[in-house]
Amino acid sequence: MKKLYMGQKMIVSALAGMILIPGSVVRIQAAETEEQQSVVPTAGIESALEECYRTKVKENLQLYLVPTDEGEYLNIAFSDTDDFTYVRSEPDENSDWTGKLYKDSTVEVLEYLDGWTKIRSGETEGYVPTEKLFTGEDARIHSGEYEENTATVTADRLNVRAGTGTDTEVLTQVSEGETYEIRGEQADGWYPVKVGEINGWVYGAYVTTETSYSYGETKEQEEARIAAEEEQKIQEAAAAALVSKGQSVVDYAYQFLGNPYVWGGTSLTNGADCSGFVQSVYAHFGISLPRTSYEQRTAGDEISYAEAQPGDLILYEGHVGIYMGDGKIINAMNEAQGIGVCSATYTNIVAVRRVL
């Protein structure tokens, strides 16, 4: 998973994909080999793909990772720190820090000094102790540890197989536009990927691959990230509290399951109609609701059915129920069925209201 502190990324893309005839559109189902697309000429495709697999991803990195004749990297380095390293405004431990490099950060080397290296990583620029970087030959040796390789599906549907061949077991399928982590080296045109908890192989002709690097962040970016993370925590806590409270409403209402329906009634034990049932359940939690289902349409805040959580009101033409989750409501149904549970979409929904 990408860390939240990752800034810009340097992307080197390799299109290991379909060769299309101009003006044509080719769609496939569970594509795996060129032979499945009979409308695409196969002559020369194998050699083109082979060249792409062998050169485009790894060797094109040299456009940025410029080596010397000895194979050492002069303008690229990687952080060598357990947690983070400060980027300083001057080559001095007592100078202000302007940013941070993290343990997976890649940097552009601007200048080598005595014990310090001037670097640029994302939007942060300044000085770090040279001992906190992999440089030169060490950078070349460790470069693979800092790459994140992904594969994006270009076919409508693509099989994820247990091995490198169409005769191996299909573990699952992935869809066009989805991106997955590559977990190793490609083999015979197949890429090892992780899909959820499944490790399998996809055929490289129907994915595009990218190699990216993580960068450091400025002090301002860190402050903004931390603030965003705190806000996210607050929102998640509020959502959890809402779900918990809404579930309490559902649990309370559920104990009256099977009690009678009485037109105009508000008693949870002796009988209630749909709006009387809802009104009385919420009164137990100190929430005052209007008496009729029509009036309850304007109670609380409007939300969509897709946003519904346990405890929300689901309103219909002349009816109302309490959402239980999993597409169900508890409601005073009719004289024959009393208070019961039914599908939340048994008829057209006219409003969903959150009153908690």
Which position has the higher pLDDT, 51 or 267?
267
Taking the model in full, what pTM does it have?
Answer: 0.59
The CATH code of domain 239-354 reads 3.90.1720.10
Give the mean pLDDT of 4-13. 40
3 state DSSP class of 232: helix
Residue 121 near residue 101, CB atoms below 8 Å: yes
Most confident of the ranges 51-65, 72-86, 292-306? 292-306
Q: How much of the chain, in percent, has pLDDT values that exceed 90?
A: 72
* pLDDT given for residue 73 in this prediction: 61
CB atoms within 10 A of CB 297: 17
What is the DSSP track for 63-123? GTS-B-TTS-EEEEEEE--SSEEEEESSSSTTSPEEEEEETTBEEEEEEE-SSEEEEEETT
Q: Model confidence at 178, in pLDDT bands (50, 70, 90)?
A: very high
- Give the angle 314-260-305 at the CA atoms, nearest 5°: 10
Neighbours of 322 (CB within 10 A): 25
Most confident of 46-50, 57-61, 325-329: 325-329
Q: What percent of the chain has pLDDT over 70?
A: 79
pLDDT for res 75: 87
User: What's the mean per-residue pLDDT of the chain?
Assistant: 84
Q: What are the structural domain ranges in the chain?
A: 1-215, 239-354
pLDDT higher than 90, residue 7: no
Residues 6+ apart with CB under 8 A from 6: 214, 215, 217
Asked whether residue 16 carries a pLDDT value surpassing 90, the answer given is no
Distances (CA, A) of 317 to 263, 274, 280, 320: 16, 12, 20, 8
Alpha helices for 255-352 (secondary structure H): 274-283, 293-296
Mean pLDDT of 249-269: 97
Q: What is the mean pLDDT of residues 351-355?
A: 97
Per-residue pLDDT of 238-257, as tens digits, reads: 989 989 999 999 999 999 99
Measured CA to CA, the distance from residue 342 to residue 332 in angstroms comes to: 10
27 pLDDT exceeds 80?
no
